Structure 1
């Protein structure tokens, strides 16, 4: 029996196309007046949340238990982000009061969009799944949080993780 080796670039490309198609599917529902943009964003976040819970379960099983909240967030920024988006997060900042800010200066799911302001109004739809992905991963690591994102200048974006008590 032969083994199949999957090129990581191919799997990332497939993920990007699948993500774009899922967003387009929900956009079609919005345009046919079946649901509003906030409802579409909520559906994409829930989908990402479920995927994040499952994905972190597989990626963290060989890691030692995280002693602090910061250890878990650093794991997400380095290892989980690399698995999901093929590179670690560019910058992590914290105010040490339950808020973490993750900067990705070239976010892979926005690189296919124009670097101008033309599609900036669609960016929240393309970021919603990723917000859910991060919140699902952190929830599965025992950290209840709320994740939001904004694209200030395409394809750069900022994810804000607010830990809930």
Structure 2
């Protein structure tokens, strides 16, 4: 290594996975804590061991889980905006949206998850579907492959990468909406809808 060259900064993959898991759990805990009135918090903590009076089990449509979604997606958005600056700094400008999405499927996914996306589909009208058959952040999670309960529990872990994708696209000049779903773990699907410009 040359004397003026700084060493590359590396982060262990496990640390990133643990950080992601803890971030999601922390967001959910803060929402659960905020759901209690000040007087109810002590009662809930004292009854938490017997299952009576513990935090409410939020379903996906709840206002509280919408707040969790918003926070995780916005954190991901900021990460994606900064991340793409590093990944694409030596690239030439992209010519169209499809080139950008292909870049995300190949190079960005490789950078984030050490593999390319398994399948990319488009309707050529601004909708792109990215299929990852073995999503890396689900690989170490205990789950029943087709259980509805498992799918419900892992869904919040998709909100952060949705934000990352949206931030990446935004920094490359593409306004979009990104949603993700899973029906068979550890696979998942990300759908990117490009906003129409007028």
TM-score after normalising by structure 2: 0.77
Q: Tell me, what secondary structure is at the counterpart of 1:33?
A: helix
- Larger fraction in strand: 1
1:12-161 equivalences in 2 (<5 Å): 12-34=13-35, 36-116=64-144, 117=147, 118-161=149-192
Separation (CA, whole Å) in 2 of partners of 1:3 and 1:51: 23
CA deviation profile, 1:133-159 (whole Å, cap 9, x unmatched): 000000000110000000111110000
Shift in Å at residue 26 of structure 1?
A: 0.6
Structure showing greater Rg = 2
How many residue pairs match? The answer is 163
Tell me, yes or no, if the aligned pair for 1:12 and 1:86 is still in contact at 8 Å. Answer: no
| Alpha-carbon offset, residue 11 of structure 1 | 2.1
Compare 153-162 and 26-35 and name the one that shifted more.
26-35
Q: State whether residues 101 and 159 of structure 1, in contact with CA within 8 Å, keep that contact through their aligned partners in structure 2.
A: yes
Q: In the alignment, is the contact (CA less than 8 A) between 1:115 and 1:153 conserved in 2?
A: no
In structure 1, runs of 5+ residues without a counterpart are: none
Residue aligned with 2:116, SS: coil
Report the TM-score when normalising by structure 1.
Answer: 0.91
CA RMSD of aligned residues (A): 1.9
Superimposed CA distance per residue, residues 23-60 of structure 1 (whole angstroms, 9 cap, x where no aligned partner): 11011112223471111011000000000000001100
Task: For 2:164 and 2:84, locate their aligned partners in 1 and report how far apart those are by CA, in whole Å.
Answer: 9
Deviations 1:74-105 (A, max 9, x none): 01111111111121111111011100000000
Cα distance in 1 for partners of 2:7, 2:70 equals 36
Q: Which runs of 4+ in 1 moved over 3 A?
A: 1-7
